[in-house]
Structure 1
Amino acid sequence: MLALGMRIPEELLHFIWRFQLFRPFHLQTSCGKSVEVISPGRYNVDAGPDFLFSELLIDKQRWYGHVELHVESKEWMLHRHHQDPAYNSVILHVVWTGDSSCYLSDGTWIPNLILNNQVEEGLLGKAMDLLHNGNWLACAYRMKHIPMHVKLQAIQRSAVERLESKTMQIMTLLERYNGDWERVTLSLIAGSFGFKVNKQAFLDWSELISLRILSKISDKPLQIQAMFFGQAGYLNAYKGKDSSVLNLKNEYHFLKHSNGLSEMTSFQWKFLRMRPYNFPTLKMAQLAGLYSLHINWFSRILNVYAIEDLKQEIRDIVIPTFWRRHYHFEKCTDDHNTALTEAFLDILAINCFAPLLFAYGKHIRQANYMDKAMEWLERIAAEDNVISRNYRKAGLPSYSAMESQGLIHLQSNYCDVKRCLSCPIGAYILQQPLSF
Structure 2
Amino acid sequence: MRIPEELLHFIWRFRLFKPLMMKTTCGKQVQVIKPGQFNEHAGPDFLFAELKIAGQQWFGHIELHVDAKDWMVHRHHQDEAYNAVILHVIWEGEMACYLSDGTWIPNLNLQQLVDEEVLEKALDLLHNGHWLSCAYRMKKIPMHIKLQTVQRAAVERLEGRYQQIMLQNKRFKGDWERITLSMLAGSFGFKVNKQAFLDWAELINLKLLAKFADKPKSIQAMFFGQAGFLTAYKGKESYPTQLQKEYEYIKQGFGLAEMSVYQWKFLRMRPANFPTIRLAQLAGLYHIRTNWFSKIVSSHYVEDIKQELRNTTINKYWRTHYHFEKTTEDHSNEFSETFTDLLVINCFAPLLFAYGKHIRKTGHMDLAMEWLESIGAEENVVTRKYRKSGLPSFSAMESQGLLHLQTHYCDLKKCLNCPIGAYILQQPIDV
Structure 1 residue 106: Cα displacement: 0.8
Distance 1:135 1:333 in 2: 47
- 1:75 is the counterpart of 2:70: yes
- 1:266 is the counterpart of 2:261: yes
Q: Which amino acid aligns with 1:390?
A: K
Distance 2:252 2:402 in 1: 49
- 1:36 is the counterpart of 2:31: yes
Structure 1 residue 140: Cα displacement: 0.5
Q: Give 1:359's aligned residue.
A: 354
Pick from 53, 56, 61: which aligns with 1:66? 61
- After TM superposition, list the pairs within 5 Å mapping 1:242-261 onto structure 2: 242-261=237-256
Q: Give 2:186's aligned residue.
A: 191
Secondary structure of residue in 2 paired with 1:411:
helix
Q: Give 2:169's aligned residue.
A: 174
Q: Give 2:107's aligned residue.
A: 112
Secondary structure of residue in 2 paired with 1:253:
helix
Distance 2:96 2:430 in 1: 38
Structure 1 residue 275: Cα displacement: 1.2
Pick from 147, 151, 157: which aligns with 1:162? 157
Q: Which amino acid aligns with 2:430?
A: S
Q: Give 1:377's aligned residue.
A: 372
Structure 1 residue 278: Cα displacement: 0.9
- 1:19 is the counterpart of 2:41: no
Pick from 81, 95, 101: which aligns with 2:96? 101
Q: Which amino acid aligns with 1:303?
A: S
Q: Give 1:57's aligned residue.
A: 52
Q: Which amino acid aligns with 2:247?
A: Y
Q: Give 1:3's aligned residue.
A: none
Distance 2:189 2:65 in 1: 47
Q: Contact 2:383–2:392 at 8 Å: present in 1 too?
A: yes
Distance 1:163 1:37 in 2: 36
Distance 1:305 1:210 in 2: 29
Unaligned runs of 5+ in 1: 1-5
Structure 1 residue 267: Cα displacement: 0.8
Distance 1:395 1:268 in 2: 42
- 1:309 is the counterpart of 2:282: no
CA offset digits 1:257-299 (Å, max 9, x no partner): 1111010011111111111111111110001001111101000
Secondary structure of residue in 2 paired with 1:196:
helix
Structure 1 residue 380: Cα displacement: 0.4
Distance 1:362 1:226 in 2: 37
Q: Contact 2:21–2:113 at 8 Å: present in 1 too?
A: no
TM-score (norm 1): 0.98
- After TM superposition, list the pairs within 5 Å mapping 1:380-391 onto structure 2: 380-391=375-386
Across the aligned residues of Structure 1 and Structure 2, the Cα RMSD in angstroms comes to: 0.7
Secondary structure of residue in 1 paired with 2:209:
helix
Structure 1 residue 134: Cα displacement: 1.2
Q: Give 2:204's aligned residue.
A: 209
Secondary structure of residue in 2 paired with 1:168:
helix
Q: Contact 2:157–2:401 at 8 Å: present in 1 too?
A: yes
CA offset digits 1:375-394 (Å, max 9, x no partner): 00000000000110111111
Q: Give 2:271's aligned residue.
A: 276
Distance 1:345 1:207 in 2: 23
Distance 1:177 1:59 in 2: 59
Distance 1:276 1:433 in 2: 54
- 1:335 is the counterpart of 2:366: no
Q: Which amino acid aligns with 1:57?
A: K
Q: Give 2:313's aligned residue.
A: 318
Pick from 213, 236, 239: which aligns with 2:231? 236
Secondary structure of residue in 2 paired with 1:198:
helix
Structure 1 residue 236: Cα displacement: 0.5
Q: Give 2:216's aligned residue.
A: 221
Distance 2:429 2:330 in 1: 66
Q: Contact 2:237–2:325 at 8 Å: present in 1 too?
A: no
Pick from 410, 415, 422: which aligns with 1:420? 415
Structure 1 residue 59: Cα displacement: 1.0
Unaligned runs of 5+ in 2: none
Structure 1 residue 126: Cα displacement: 1.1
Distance 2:269 2:21 in 1: 67
Secondary structure of residue in 2 paired with 1:69:
strand
Structure 1 residue 10: Cα displacement: 0.3
Distance 2:306 2:267 in 1: 30
Structure 1 residue 435: Cα displacement: 3.3
CA offset digits 1:152-179 (Å, max 9, x no partner): 0100000000000111111111111111
Structure 1 residue 312: Cα displacement: 0.4
Q: Give 2:136's aligned residue.
A: 141
CA offset digits 1:288-321 (Å, max 9, x no partner): 0011111010000000111111100111111011
Distance 1:199 1:349 in 2: 17
Structure 1 residue 60: Cα displacement: 0.7
Secondary structure of residue in 2 paired with 1:195:
helix
Distance 2:399 2:228 in 1: 37
Structure 1 residue 434: Cα displacement: 2.8
Runs of 4+ that moved beyond 2 A:
none
Distance 2:211 2:307 in 1: 26
- After TM superposition, list the pairs within 5 Å mapping 1:341-352 onto structure 2: 341-352=336-347
Q: Give 1:430's aligned residue.
A: 425
Distance 2:327 2:15 in 1: 70
Structure 1 residue 26: Cα displacement: 2.7
Q: How many residues are treated as equivalent by the alignment?
A: 431
